[in-house]
Amino acid sequence: MLRRLSLGFAVATAAIAIAACSSSNATQSISVGPNFSENVYAADVTQNAVNIYATGSPIPKTTAGPLYQIGGGSTTIAGPQYLTFDSSSDLWLTNWFSGTTAGGILEFKAEATGNVIPYQSYSFGAVRPRGITDYLYTFTGATTPTDVLAVAVVDPGQPAGFNSGIQFFTASLLTTAYQTLAGPATGLNVPSGVAVDKNDNLYVSNLQGASVEVFALPSASPTASPTPTASPTASPTATPTGATPTPSPTVAPTPTPWNIGPTATISGAASGISQPTGLAIDANLNIYVSDQASTVCTPACPAILIFAPGSNGATAPVHYIAGSNTGLVAPTDVKVDGNFNVYVADEKAGSGVVYVYAKGAYGNVAPSATLNATGALIGLGLTPTPAP
């Protein structure tokens, strides 16, 4: 059984000590922001950082830049991609540094800011990770649910037809994936965004397949033991600023990938899907897709496509956000908060931006808020606002 959790919380400005586990472990001090109950996190690939925007309610119309960042040599962030939060509000980030073709996953403790050491890290080697999402799953033999990460990957070391897939990890002890969804039957072709809904469905935006694929979540294979806890060990040495993190360990190929077809596929001319980069599912199970060249316009245009719950086949979106007033240039990810505000990361030329569109704002509409950045943005994450 899965259980989705609200991650909202608030703290006063302070410095707190946590146990930090990377390739080795230590206790360190981290900076804490003033209010982490309503915030937007954005992966800044130019600055090798995660931007943190404190939005609150109402959302400010314009911000000059992020209020906080997670960045610096100790973080080992190099080419941040997509991000998610787990049930403890820890931040998980996929990382891909093209200069060394090194991919990985980084975990940062809840409330962390600044040049902090990751709590956990995992290296894919040459495997490129993109989208990442967290959900809760109760393994056979366990009495409580554990956080599971589903990560979209492209693995050049796998045979044709198996090189695009979704890998599943137990978050509490980040080691080799326990299951992989891949193979010709899946229809996956460079998966980008991933999301899981409250009915245990996995959604994947298929970048080069021009589709959204929907799958039933896999059961654990092999059966996992009850939730393990990572134990800190002695003193890490922070990676010097500008240094490249050493990949350790390297993931082993999954011998028996889960090669099954999707339960639903949204694609075709009517869907308007052409270059889907990210997706989100709202509380009512509506499906939001960020697309950089959607065919809802002529010629093709950047758009946010919104599909009804359970959409399948050559289905038209029920709404879309597109047109010159939207400000969209190259949307890379989309998220929806508890008040149904829509957040879009846009990798526009010169500097990135997060646009916010109010609930029910569709068509060629201007954003209600603009969160600016000095670098190109890719993935988004939200600490959810409470539903009205």
Per-residue 3-state assignment (H helix, E strand, C coil) for 126-166: CCEEEEEEEEEECCCCCCCCEEEEEEEEECCCCCCCCCEEE
Confidence at 220, pLDDT banded by 50, 70, 90: low
251-276 tens-digit pLDDT: 444 447 899 999 999 999 999 999 99
- Bigger pLDDT: 126 or 233? 126
**CB burial class (10 A; 0-12, 13-18, 19+) of residue 256?**
exposed
pLDDT for residue 98: 78
AA identity, residue 306: I
Tell me 269's DSSP state. Answer: G
The Cα 388–Cα 386 span in angstroms is: 6
- Bigger pLDDT: 220 or 131? 131
Confidence at 12, pLDDT banded by 50, 70, 90: very low
pLDDT for residue 57: 65
Contact 33, 113 (CB under 8 A): yes
Name the average pLDDT for the chain: 83
122-136, 233-247, 264-278: lowest mean pLDDT where?
A: 233-247
Nearest C-alpha neighbor of 119 from the set 171, 168, 162, 78: 171
The Cα 376–Cα 333 span in angstroms is: 12
The CA angle 305-309-311, to the nearest 5 degrees, is: 70
Nearest C-alpha neighbor of 262 from the set 194, 190, 202: 202
Residues 6+ apart with CB under 8 A from 299: none
Rg (alpha carbons) of the chain, rounded to whole number: 19
Q: Is the pLDDT of residue 26 over 50?
A: no
Nearest C-alpha neighbor of 217 from the set 205, 199, 234, 230: 199
180-189, 198-207, 224-233, 354-363: lowest mean pLDDT where?
A: 224-233
**CB burial class (10 A; 0-12, 13-18, 19+) of residue 3?**
exposed
Q: Is the pLDDT of residue 131 over 90?
A: yes
69-115 tens-digit pLDDT: 999 999 999 999 999 999 999 999 999 987 778 899 999 998 899 99
Q: Is the pLDDT of residue 24 over 70?
A: no
108: tokens are 């940062």
327-375 tens-digit pLDDT: 999 999 999 998 899 999 998 766 899 999 999 999 999 999 999 998 9
Domain boundaries, the chain: 29-224+246-383
Q: Is the pLDDT of residue 64 over 90?
A: no
Q: Assign 326 to helix, strand or coil.
A: helix
- Bigger pLDDT: 26 or 320? 320
Q: Is the pLDDT of residue 231 over 60?
A: no
293-312 tens-digit pLDDT: 999 999 999 999 999 999 99
Confidence at 239, pLDDT banded by 50, 70, 90: very low
Q: Is the pLDDT of residue 248 over 60?
A: no
Q: Is the pLDDT of residue 22 over 70?
A: no
φ, ψ at 85 (rounded to 5°) = -120, 145
Average of per-residue pLDDT across 157-172: 94
213: tokens are 């694929």
Q: Strand pairing of 62-63 and 369-372?
A: parallel
Q: Is the pLDDT of residue 215 over 70?
A: yes
The Cα 291–Cα 45 span in angstroms is: 19
Q: Is the pLDDT of residue 232 over 50?
A: no
Q: Is the pLDDT of residue 235 over 50?
A: no
Q: Assign 74 to helix, strand or coil.
A: helix
191-205, 254-268, 280-294, 318-332: lowest mean pLDDT where?
A: 254-268
Confidence at 60, pLDDT banded by 50, 70, 90: confident
Indicate the class that CATH gives domain 29-224+246-383: mainly beta
Residues 6+ apart with CB under 8 A from 231: none
AA identity, residue 361: A
Q: Strand pairing of 276-281 and 287-294?
A: antiparallel
Residues 6+ apart with CB under 8 A from 159: none
Confidence at 10, pLDDT banded by 50, 70, 90: very low
**CB burial class (10 A; 0-12, 13-18, 19+) of residue 61?**
exposed
The H or E element containing residue 303 is: strand 301-307
Q: Tokens 């193979």, residue? A: 183
pTM of the predicted protein model? 0.82
